[in-house]
């Protein structure tokens, strides 16, 4: 049984929306732009923790890193659950956090 937490929701809200160029292409959500910029595992985990609203040490502890990894592993299920069971209301804007990446042009 999957339990959707506030950290999952924060992470979903902070996900980067992009166009996947695979085959004919499709919209996609990336958990962290650091993954697209060949960030180190530590940089990616720190960004995921920040986006999820986690309070982590500096440097992050092993437990902090494990929590970020678990959230990353659960990202797809959290997305699927909110898509299947959630409801959007109001107005939403999507800021493009990828605009400065060379491939975004």
Task: Note the pLDDT tens digit of each residue in 67-98.
Answer: 999 999 999 999 999 989 988 888 877 777 67
* 75 vs 41: CA distance, rounded Å: 16
Main-chain dihedrals φ then ψ at residue 86, nearest 5 degrees: -85, 170
Position 48 pLDDT exceeds 60: yes
Give the pLDDT of residue 104.
61
Burial code of 21-51, b = ≥16 C-beta within 10 A, e = fewer?
eeeeeeeeebbbbbbeeeeeeeebbbbbbbb
Position 60 pLDDT exceeds 60: yes
What pTM does this model have? 0.76
Residue 35, helix vs strand vs coil: helix
């Amino acid at each position: 049984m999957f339990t959707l937490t506030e950290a999952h929701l924060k992470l979903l809200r902070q996900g980067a929306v992009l166009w996947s160029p695979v085959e004919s292409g499709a919209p996609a959500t990336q958990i962290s732009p650091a993954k697209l910029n060949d960030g180190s595992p530590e940089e990616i985990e720190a960004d995921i923790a920040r986006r999820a609203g986690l309070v982590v040490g500096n440097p992050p502890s092993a437990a902090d890193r494990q929590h970020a990894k678990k959230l990353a592993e659960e990202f797809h299920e959290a997305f699927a659950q909110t898509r299947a069971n959630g409801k959007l209301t109001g107005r939403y804007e999507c800021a493009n956090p990828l605009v400065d990446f060379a491939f975004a042009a």
